[in-house]
Amino acid sequence: MAIGGLIAERPAPPAPERPGRGPALRTAPIVAARRWLAERVRGEMSAGAVVYHAPSTAFQSPGGGENQLIQTGRYIEARGVAVRPFSPWVDRLDRAGLLHLFGMSREGLQLARVARAKGIPVVLSPICWIEPRAMAALATDPVGRWANRAKWRLKALVPSFPTWRRELLNLADAILPNSVAEGEQLVRWFGADPSRIRPVPNGVEERFAHADPSAFRAIHGAGDFVLYVGRIEPRKNVLGLVEGVRAAGLPLVVIGDALPGYEGYAADCKRAGSGFARWLPRVDHDDPLLESAYASARVLALPSWFETPGLVALEAALAGTAVVVTPHGCTREYFGDRVGYARPDRPPEIARAIRDAWTSGPDAGLAAHVGAHYPWSEVARRTAEAYDQVTR
């Protein structure tokens, strides 16, 4: 998601002393995503603000996790909670009301230690899925493959074994996994305290329910196609997708850029897609062309090594597009039997699932299901409840 240019600073809302201890919640306008981050990092942090943190490199190649941070912040603010994306050069945690970490990182661990030392509550959205078979398959050498398998077998046997992730989970007053399954993994792999786990799903913006194919088709032409939106990297299994679509004999459109360091992988994908795949650069998340692309596509395919559950799958589903996703991760918890599933290491299975979705079209209840269960307003409500519970 791109960050928009600086604009005139808006008047800051009254800051609560602490989340849950301030004034009654009120409804406030939701600031456009393009402006939100650029505005919120300006000026001085309001006393008692909820401080949001992501690893310092996160927005160099933004994806679903970064979108989750921004959308949560936008909709939490609409409930009257002041939010501040953390700026390490100027912000002091002793002025914060609460620290909310997005993603598990050693950088976040250091900040959590400081927060706890200063008596500031810590909330963690882990955005974490452990898939040992994916780690083994994506290892670049046999030794790495063996080491990954051995490491995770040890963790399964001894979840209390000290690791930095376990320490981070223990420092959090509340843990907000994106699914029940993710929370169960955190208990199984790291011995997380189940009483601190409060699942909060990923969300989707209502604008995708009103998607219109006209804008995308005016630029790129009419015609049906399979769509992939996201970073080009091995974990997303773009090469396996290309091979599956080629076997299905269908046209493919890829919207996204290579993750830094994987330019060679992207070149391999493009060579494999010669003659039937079209490669378009990344589109800003709040660009209307994105929902138009979803509405133009016949199938959205995301046969990654794992997803939690893949924000683009939620968005495409709400736009009325048939969806094929990986079964690894928490996708079934979100979609049930309303989408197609294909394992990432089986191109024939990917081809078959895509052909089936191409022929049958979207499930009749898919868009309504996503719209009813995963709006960002519901994500914000559950998140605000967690804030209230840890600040009482």
Residues 88-111: pLDDT tens digits? 999 999 999 999 999 999 999 999
pLDDT higher than threshold 60 for residue 21: no
Contacts of 220 (CB under 8 A, 6+ apart): 253, 278, 280, 296
**Distance of alpha carbon 54 from its chain centroid, rounded?**
12
pLDDT higher than threshold 50 for residue 19: no
**Domain ranges for the chain:** 33-203+375-391, 206-373
| 11 band by pLDDT with thresholds 50, 70 and 90 | very low
Average pLDDT value for residue range 266-271: 98
Q: pTM for this structure?
A: 0.86
Query: For residue 280, what is the enclosing H or E element?
Result: strand 277-280
- Size (the chain), residues: 392
Same fold, 33-203+375-391 and 206-373: yes
Is-contact 338 361, C-beta < 8 A? no
Q: Residue 162's CB: how many other CB atoms inside 10 A? A: 9
Q: Please give the residue that has the higher pLDDT: either 284 or 268.
A: 268
**Dist CA 301 CA 295 (whole Å):** 14
Helix (H, G, I), strand (E, B) or coil at 340: strand
| 160 band by pLDDT with thresholds 50, 70 and 90 | low
Strands 226-229 and 174-175, by their bridges, are: unpaired
Residues 300-339: pLDDT tens digits? 999 999 999 999 999 999 999 999 999 999 999 999 999 9
| 4 band by pLDDT with thresholds 50, 70 and 90 | very low
Structure tokens at 152: 């995770």
* Single-letter code of the amino acid located at 46: S
Q: What is the pLDDT of residue 150?
A: 65
Q: Which of 112, 152, 160, 120 is nearest to 134 (CA)?
A: 152
**Distance of alpha carbon 42 from its chain centroid, rounded?**
25
Helix (H, G, I), strand (E, B) or coil at 294: helix
CATH superfamily of 33-203+375-391: Glycogen Phosphorylase B; (3.40.50.2000)
Top CATH class, 206-373: alpha beta
Return the DSSP state at 47.
T
Q: Which of 76, 8, 90, 18 is nearest to 49 (CA)?
A: 18
**Dist CA 205 CA 316 (whole Å):** 11
Q: What is the pLDDT of residue 143?
A: 66
Q: Please give the residue that has the higher pLDDT: either 56 or 144.
A: 56
Scanning 205-287, the segments in alpha helix (DSSP H) are 214-220, 238-248, 263-272
Residues 70-79: pLDDT tens digits? 999 999 999 9
**Dist CA 62 CA 170 (whole Å):** 27
Helices 311-318, 64-77: inter-axial angle, 10-degree rounding? 70
Residues 197-235: pLDDT tens digits? 999 999 999 999 999 999 999 999 999 999 999 999 999
Q: What is the pLDDT of residue 140?
A: 72
